[in-house]
Amino acid sequence: MQLGIVTLFPAMFAAVTEYGISGRAVRSGLMNLELFNPRDYTTDKHRSVDDKPFGGGPGMLMKTEPLMASIAAARRAVETKHAAGADNSESKGTKVIYLSPQGKTLKQDSIIDLAQRESMVLLCGRYQGIDNRVLESEIDEEWSLGDFVISGGELAAMTLIDAMTRFQPGALGDEGSALEDSFSNGLLHSPEYTRPQSINGQGVPEVLLSGDHEAIRKWRLKQSLGATWLKRPDLLQAMSLENEQEELLEQFKQDYLRD
Ligand code: 9WO
């Protein structure tokens, strides 16, 4: 996947390019990030990247000319990269995405869809954001992590990159499959335990030590359904359960109400 990233703080992206699963995906060439700093596209002596809003008031907006120039450069770079040698019909599909609280809320399903794309440009806003005309002419999609404000789009862009990386074929290696993570079956994960077998007198559920794989599968599914029922009943509401799941959840509720 080719990613063009427009940001005033390119150094922040070391968090995804150098660490963990995303770091490995970048080193192996599975994810290719190219950073574009509007400051490098300024033409004035002071290299200004912010400007006053018309109508006054506190706060600043991103300065338009360097912003537009850096978006154009990012788009050009990712399009030439992934169209290299081939016909470029696919490259015309490169979307410019703005991370903002006004966007559509990202869900695991949207991450899976976005992760299939060959390229995209991520625009990280700072200050109070961007001029509305730039929004309307340059931005194809607006996505949000949720209903809260942070100081800029970078952490949101990195969150999106990390989540998409997990769906690149080969990115997870030994860590398993992104399709087995929480949410991929619409349920929360069941509790997990590691050594030691006792912590301050608290043991590990017997079934996990039994070696009975079918019993373990059932127990985990039951716990998964139970955890979802207790912590995220809204997720269960939106699902239709199979017979086995219905029965295991019923058992969980009985156990829970008895204890
Ligand atoms: C800042 C500000 C200051 C004074 C008055 C109004 C103001 N609004 C903002 C503002 O919304 N700043 C944003 C900062 C501009 C776009 C980038 N920023 C951002 C992205 N904050 N939060 C996000 C974000 C992105 C994705 N998911 C959740 C939050």
Q: What is the pLDDT of residues 130-171, one digit of tens each?
A: 999 999 999 999 999 999 999 999 999 999 999 999 999 999
Q: Is the pLDDT of residue 257 over 90?
A: yes
Within 10 angstroms of residue 114's Cβ, the number of other Cβ atoms is 20
Strands, DSSP E only, in the chain? Answer: 2-6, 32-36, 50-51, 61-62, 95-105, 119-123, 141-144
* End residue of a domain, out of 165, 200, 219: 165
Co-location of 199 and 122 in the same domain: no
Q: Is the pLDDT of residue 86 over 60?
A: no
Mean pLDDT, rounded, for 80-103: 78
Q: Of all residues in the chain, what percent carry a pLDDT higher than 90?
A: 90
Structural domain count of the chain: 2
The pLDDT, as a whole number, for residue 226 is: 98
Co-location of 145 and 253 in the same domain: no
Mean pLDDT, rounded, for 241-258: 98
Q: Which residues make Cβ contacts (< 8 Å) with residue 98, sequence separation at least 6?
A: 123, 125, 130, 135, 139, 141, 142, 143, 153
The enclosing domain of 77 has a CATH number of 3.40.1280.10
From atom 8 of ligand 1, which residue's Cα is the shortest distance away? 128
The pLDDT, as a whole number, for residue 179 is: 74
Mean pLDDT, rounded, for 27-50: 98
What average pLDDT is seen over the chain? Answer: 95
Co-location of 30 and 137 in the same domain: yes
Question: What residues pair up with 50 in beta bridges, in sequence order?
Answer: 62
Q: Among 127, 148, 160, which residue has the most ligand 1 atoms within 8 Å of its CB, making it the best to mutate? A: 127
Q: Is the pLDDT of residue 80 over 80?
A: yes
Mean pLDDT, rounded, for 47-57: 98
Residue 36 in domain:
yes
Lowest mean pLDDT among 157-161, 185-189, 200-204: 185-189
From atom 2 of ligand 1, which residue's Cα is the shortest distance away? 128
* End residue of a domain, out of 165, 195, 217: 165
Is residue 81 within 8 A of residue 33, CB to CB? The reply is no
Co-location of 145 and 201 in the same domain: no
Co-location of 134 and 227 in the same domain: no
Q: Please, which pLDDT band fits residue 84 given cuts at 50, 70 and 90?
A: low
**Tens digit of each residue's pLDDT (9 = 90 or more) over 211-220:** 999 999 999 9
From atom 1 of ligand 1, which residue's Cα is the shortest distance away? 128
Mean pLDDT, rounded, for 220-247: 97
Co-location of 31 and 158 in the same domain: yes
Is residue 10 within 8 A of residue 74, CB to CB? The reply is no
Co-location of 102 and 139 in the same domain: yes
Q: Which residues make Cβ contacts (< 8 Å) with residue 188, sequence separation at least 6?
A: 182, 224, 227, 228, 231, 232, 235
Mean pLDDT, rounded, for 38-62: 98
Q: Among 9, 63, 124, 128, which residue has the most ligand 1 atoms within 8 Å of its CB, making it the best to mutate? A: 128
Question: Measured between alpha carbons, how far is 6 from 98 in angstroms, rounded to an integer?
Answer: 10
The enclosing domain of 249 has a CATH number of 1.10.1270.20
Q: Determine the distance separating the centroid of ligand 1 and the alpha carbon of 100, expressed in angstroms.
A: 6
Q: Please, which pLDDT band fits residue 82 given cuts at 50, 70 and 90?
A: confident
Radius of gyration of the chain (CA): 23
Question: Does ligand 1 have an atom closer than 6 angstroms to the CB of 149?
Answer: yes
From atom 6 of ligand 1, which residue's Cα is the shortest distance away? 128
The pLDDT, as a whole number, for residue 13 is: 99
Q: Which domain holds residue 160?
A: 2-165
Q: Please, which pLDDT band fits residue 181 given cuts at 50, 70 and 90?
A: confident
Q: Is the pLDDT of residue 83 over 80?
A: no
Angle between helix 108-115 and 154-165 (nearest 10): 80
Question: Measured between alpha carbons, how far is 97 from 80 in angstroms, rounded to an integer?
Answer: 18
Q: Is the pLDDT of residue 183 over 90?
A: no
The pair of three-digit structure tokens given for residue 94, joined into one six-digit string: 């490169």
124 vs 91, higher pLDDT = 124
Co-location of 133 and 8 in the same domain: yes
Q: Which long-range contacts (CB under 8 A, 24 or more apart) does 55-64 make?
A: 59/127, 59/128, 60/127, 60/128, 61/127, 61/128, 61/129, 61/130, 61/131, 62/8, 62/38, 62/125, 62/126, 62/127, 62/129, 62/130, 62/131, 63/38, 64/130, 64/131, 64/134
Q: Is the pLDDT of residue 91 over 80?
A: no
From atom 11 of ligand 1, which residue's Cα is the shortest distance away? 128
